[in-house]
Amino acid sequence: MKNARISLLVILCAAPAIAQTNGTFLLTSSNTVSPTTPTTTVGIWATWFDPGAEVLFRGADYDLTAGDGVFSNPVNRLFGPFSTGVIAGNVISGAFSGQIHLPPFGSASRDNPILLATYDWTTTDFTPRTVSLDTSNSSYFYIIELAIPDPGRLNMFPGAFTPGSGVINVIPAPTAWVVLALPLAAATRRRRC
């Protein structure tokens, strides 16, 4: 009976954590990569779920890694403190995106998901594949609860998020016989008409 009470106490103490705010990163790719379009724009977005309070995004520190290829052209998409990080080939480390919410002087975006930054990714290898994207080395993800009376006292949660992942699709150039066959097929079709 004593063990049953301890188990019930543990379950009751753990229950509020289920309702805790959860956040993650969404990683998107603007297009399929091929020899005719060897570059795609990768977007890193923050998104969260909080059933109990109205919140907005405050800031995140993240690393972004691709399975291969090269990142370039970083662009911060938020108005606030930021660093687009250090780019070393297929790895971006130490990136930070944030926004400031200080009424009545300015109000941060309440978008959810919210676009933090974009990076171009390119390759010269057009072997058909999916290239993985992940933020598994990210160190924090903060949001602000809007219901608090003093905006100087921010109720933020560090670490209560899961790393994000995504993919870039790469397709090969058409083989030589396909390139040659297309004009022949068109010519044959015109003759029949």
Structural domain contains residue 16? no
Structural domain contains residue 11? no
Structural domain contains residue 166? yes
Q: Model-level pTM?
A: 0.75
Q: Give the angle subtended at the CA of 45 by the CAs of 41 and 48, to the nearest 5°.
A: 165
8 A C-beta contact, residue 58 and residue 96: no
What are the pLDDT digits (tens) for 2-46? 443 333 232 223 333 334 557 889 999 999 999 999 999 999 999
- The parent domain of residue 144 ranges over 23-180
Structural domain contains residue 185? no
β-strand partners of 4: none
What are the pLDDT digits (tens) for 149-183? 555 445 556 667 788 899 999 999 775 445 555 56
Give the CATH number for residue 171: 2.60.40.680
* Beta strand extents in 14-54 (DSSP E only): 22-29, 39-49
Structural domain contains residue 188? no
> How many independent structural domains does the chain possess?
1
Structural domain contains residue 12? no
Q: Convert 127-154 into a string of H (helix), E (strand) and C (coil).
A: CCEEEEEECCCCCEEEEEECCCCCCCCC
Structural domain contains residue 186? no
Higher pLDDT pick, 37 / 1: 37
What are the pLDDT digits (tens) for 105-127? 567 888 899 999 999 999 999 99
